[in-house]
Amino acid sequence: MKEALRSWLFFSLLVTVLSLGGAFCPGGEEVMVNPSFTQQREIYRFIQGFHTGLDDQEEWELARIIVDESRRYGLDPELVLAMILVESSFYHRAKSAKGARGLMQLRPFVARVLAKEMGIPWQGKETILDPSTNVRLGLHYLSKLILRFRDLKLAIAAYNYGPSYVRERLRRGKPVPTRYAERVLRNYRLLSRRLSLRSL
């Protein structure tokens, strides 16, 4: 019990310090917080506006994962937030009629292949309900689609409709449905103006 209380107090202190944008040493000089932590703080604040089904500490960890994985794949955090917003509204146990699950709404058969590629142990469908794992798998998948289609809008459409469907539409010279992708990109633009994470 004491250990749990100590962990919670440390977490609360960390969030308080980060909310100030920097820390102070006894000599009165300000020690600037790493920009990654500043991004994490802003994302954490944004996530708190939604019903995530997570506690504060889990939301803080989710914000960290979004920052880290965005950097890993060279993606803007605002794009990742826009994807999650459209897919699940940040509810980590969201489930679609087609069986897609979690924050980034991955279907189990797709997630299982991605998990194998990334060396993530697969423990059944519950694996993708873990927020950190879901985001890691989702961004790995999105990055693969971006490399395959060389076009962000097409990659986002393929994330939703499936790469085989999009590739076949292109092969036949038929238009690819873009309503979903346009919704994501519209939220991406709005979040970029609101959060300005790239400038942090």
pLDDT tens digits for range 148-169: 999 999 999 999 999 999 999 9
Q: Where are the domains of the chain?
A: 1-33, 34-199
pLDDT at residue 186, as a whole number: 98
The pLDDT-based confidence of 40 (bands split at 50, 70, 90) is very high
The 10 Å Cβ neighbour count of residue 161 is 15
Give the predicted TM-score (pTM) of the model: 0.82
| Yes or no: domain 34-199 corresponds to CATH 1.10.530.10 | yes
Helical pair 179-195 and 35-47, crossing angle rounded to 10 deg? 120
Please state the separation of Cα 64 from the chain's center in Å: 9
The CA-atom distances, in angstroms, between 166 and each of 38, 153, 184 are 37, 11, 17
